[in-house]
Amino acid sequence: MEQLLTANVATNLYWFGRYLERVEATLIEAVYHFDRIIDIDKNSGKDFYKKLGVDLEYTNARDFLNVAIFGNHSANINSLISYAKENAIISRSNMDTEAFGSVIELADLLKHSSHASFLIDCRFIDYVLSLISEIWGELTRKQKRNTSDYFIRLGKLVEKVDFHLRIEKDKEFSLVVMEEIDKIVSILAPNAEFLTHNENDSYEAILNSVNRKINKIIVEG
């Protein structure tokens, strides 16, 4: 924990964790809704992306995957991984070398796959998810954690809460993750004091609490 980071590097490590987690969570949900479009509800993908603030149009399940991953909207995977790549480049000296290389490899894979003739299927998504799992593994294999590792972990956890609440899943899971966020916050900002939350709190209240904690660490810290 003796590692010193500039506010810029800390912010980019945090957002790297957020974007990589967002890519992973979105892909998992995309596969789930792909199956629902085929078997249960053709509008399942539209309903999901509506919660992400995206009006998605598609003709069938296969088209849904292509539009979801490479479509012209704010939640497309190609753009999200490119943001994670930019964060990683800025934070390169404070990131595991193998993990950095894997991020660049993943970003290049998605960029090269984004041309119109490439057809997305679940096997491709499973492969991308396996690469993301490898990156998380490379980032966490060290026995001793540096400050940079905590900021990446913090980004991952905050995105878990944010994504989970945005798609309106149960609050109980988010509150469990919040407890882990609080543990990291107590390490990075031991003098900060925050209120705890329960299932009676609104989604907005929980997210606002998370954002206050992050601002305390990164902006004010």
pLDDT per residue rounded down to tens, the chain (221 residues):
455 688 889 899 999 999 999 999 999 999 999 999 999 999 999 999 999 999 999 999 999 999 998 999 999 999 999 999 999 999 999 999 999 999 999 999 998 888 766 778 899 999 999 999 999 999 988 767 888 999 999 999 999 988 988 887 777 888 888 888 888 888 887 776 666 666 677 777 777 777 777 777 776 55
Q: How far apart are CA 170 and CA 168, in angstroms?
A: 7
Q: How far apart are CA 14 and CA 94, in angstroms?
A: 12
Q: How far apart are CA 20 and CA 14, in angstroms?
A: 10
Structure tokens at 140: 């966490």
pTM value?
Answer: 0.89
